[in-house]
Amino acid sequence: MIARHSLIYVGSRGFAAALNMASVAVFTRLAPVENYGTYLYVLSWALVLYGATCQWPKFAFFALYDEAREPAQVGTVVRILGGTLLLAGLGSAFAAGLGLVPAPMAAAILALAFGTTLFEGSTEIARTRLKAGAVAASVMSRAVLILGLGSLALHLSTDPLHLAFAVAAANALAALPAAITIAPMMPGRGSRAEALRLFAYGWPLVLSFGTAALAQSLDRLIIAKTVGPAGLGAYGALADFLKQSFIVFGEAIALSLISIAKREARVGGIAAASGVLSDAARAMTLIAAFGAVFFLCFDDLVVAVLLGPDYRAEARALAPVLILASILMMFRAYYFGQVIYFTRTSRLEAAAAFATLAVVAILSLLLIPRFGASGAALAFAGGQAAACLVLVLGAYRAGTPMPLPLADMAGIAGAALVCGAVIAGIGLVPGGLMPPGQALRLVLLVVGAGATAWHFDVLGFAGAIRHRLAA
C-alpha cells in the first residue's frame, strides 16, 4: 500500500507541479510585473483569511478520524466548514464596509478563500479515508484548470482581480472528484459529540493557523507596501515556483505516508509508526538535497524558461536563499509539523506559528527596508527555521519525537553534494554549458538521485522490486 499510494500521490503532484510551473511561466509573460504582484498581494490576504477561519477543521478531522464513526464525523466537519465560510464572508464584508480594502478586492479575496476551502476540505477528507485516486484526480484537475482559466482571464484582461477569480473557480471545480467520494455521506446528520471533539482539538489551531498564514504572507505584504507590487512580482513568482517544486512533493509524501503512519499509530502508538515516518524523512531529504543541486546548478536555465524577461535578474539573485527557505518550509509543514497528529494536543502547532510570525516580523522590519526582496527572503527562511526548532524541541519534551534517521539523511545529503560538485565541475569545462554538456549534467543528476534512492530504499521501491525479482 505504501509504494502504491506514494506512487499515486507523487505522480499526481509531479504532474500538478509541472503544470503549476507552466502557469507561472505563462502568467509572468501575459501580466506586467506590477499586475502580477498585485495578484500575489490579493492571494496573500486570501491565504490569511483562509488560515484564520477555514483551515483548522480539516486538520482536526484528520487527527481524530475513526472509521467506526466515519458518517457522523464527515457530516459534522462538512457543516463546520460551511460555518467557517460564513464567518469568512462576514469578515470580508466588514473589511470592505470599513473601507480597509476596496470592495472588488475583498470579493476576490473571499472567492479565493472559498475555492481553497472547497478544494482542501474535500481532498483532506478523501485522503484521510485513503481514497488516493480521487485525491490525485482533484490535484491534477486543479493544475489544468488554473492554467486554462488563468491564461484565459489574462488573455481577455490583465486585471489581477480577474486572474484571482479564475484561480478561485479552478479550485472550486477541481474539488469535485474528491467530493464525489464523500457525497454518499453528505446527507448524514451532524453530531454534537463529534463537533465538540473537533472543537476541543481544533480550537488552538484557529489561532495558530491564522498566525501561521500571516507569518507565511507577511514578507509579501510588507514588500507590497514598501517596495511596491512590482518588487513583489519577481519575488513571489520565484518563491511560488520553488514552492511547487519542494513543497508539492513534500506534501505528496505527507499525503501518502503520514496518512498510513496515523493509522499505524492508532493501533500501536507512535512507535508502531516510526518505520513509516523514517521513510518519510528519507524521502523528503532526497527531494531537498537533489532539488537544491538542480536549482543551484541549473538556475540560469530554470529562470530563463520559467519567468518573463522583466523578472529574471532579481529572481536569480534571490534563488539561493529562497531554495533554503523552501526546504525548511517543506520539513516544517510536512514532517516536523505532522507531530500534532500523534499527540493529544495541537498546541505545539500554535507555538511554532507564533515563533514563525515573531521571527519573520522582526527580520522583515530589520532587513526589508535595507535589502528589499533579499531581506524578505532571509526573513522567510529565518521564520521557517524557528518553527522547525520549536516543533523538534516541543515534540521531544512531549515524548513524541518524530524519528530522524540521521545517518541515512546525512548519507543522502553527502551523495547529493558529490553529485553537485561533479555537475558544477562539468559546467566549468569549455563547452560544459552548451546543450550536450547540459544534457550530460542533467543525466548525471537523475542517475545520482536514482542511485541514492535505490541504495537507501526510499519509499520502499527498491525493496519491493527486489522482492518481486526474488519471488
Residue 246 carries which side chain, given as an amino acid letter?
A: F
Q: For the segment 256-300, what is each residue's pLDDT rounded down to a tens digit? A: 777 777 777 766 666 777 888 888 889 889 999 999 999 888 887
| pLDDT at res. 213 | 83
Mean pLDDT in residue range 173-196: 80
What counts of helices (H) and strands (E) characterise the chain? 19, 0
In sequence order, what DSSP letters do the residues of 40-91 get, joined into one string? Answer: HHHHHHHHHHHHHHTSHHHHHHHHH--GGGHHHHHHHHHHHHHHHHHHHHHH
> How far, in Å, CA of 264 to CA of 250, rounded?
20
Amino acid (1-letter code) at residue 27: F
What pLDDT score does 399 carry?
A: 75
Question: How many residues are recorded in the chain?
Answer: 471
Are 360 and 379 in contact by the 8 Å Cβ rule? The answer is: yes
| Interval 17-52: pLDDT, tens | 788 888 988 998 888 888 888 999 999 999 889 888
192-226 vs 373-398: helix axis angle to the nearest 10?
Answer: 150
pLDDT at position 192: 81
Quote the pTM value. 0.73
pLDDT at 471: 62
Alpha-carbon span 371 to 379, nearest angstrom: 11
pLDDT of residue 462: 65
Cα-based distances in Å from 152 to 90, 162, 244: 30, 10, 22
**330 contacts 387 by C-beta, under 8 angstroms:** no
pLDDT at 3 over 60: no
Residue 255 confidence (pLDDT): 64
What residues contact residue 241 under an 8 Å CB cut-off, 6+ apart?
21, 24, 302, 306, 307
Task: Provide the pLDDT confidence category of residue 160 given band limits of 50, 70 and 90.
Answer: very high
Cα(363)–Cα(389) distance, integer angstroms: 17
CA dist 197 → 64, 85, 87 (Å): 8, 20, 20
Mean pLDDT of 357-367: 91
Q: What is the DSSP letter of 407?
A: H
Q: What is the mean pLDDT of the chain?
A: 84
Q: What is the pLDDT of residue 417?
A: 96
**pLDDT value for 370:** 86
Highest mean pLDDT among 56-65, 173-182, 240-249, 301-310: 173-182
1 pLDDT band (50/70/90 cuts)? low
Higher pLDDT, 177 or 308: 177
154-174 burial, b if ≥16 CB within 10 A, otherwise e? beeebbbbbbbbbbbbbbbbb
Rounded Cα distance, 209 and 333, in Å: 12
In 3-state terms, what secondary structure has residue 405? coil
Range with the poorest average pLDDT among 345-354, 355-364, 367-376, 412-421? 345-354
Q: So what's the pLDDT on residue 186?
A: 64
Residue 320 vs residue 349, higher pLDDT = 320
Per residue in 328-354, pLDDT (tens digit) is 988 887 777 676 667 655 677 778 888
pLDDT at 470: 66
Instruction: Tell me how far apart the terminal alpha carbons of the chain are, to the nearest angstrom.
Output: 18
**What are the residue boundaries of the structural domains of the chain, listed by start?**
2-404
In this structure, the number of other CB atoms found within 10 A of the CB of residue 100 comes to 10
User: pLDDT by residue (tens digit) across 138-156?
Assistant: 999 999 999 999 999 999 9
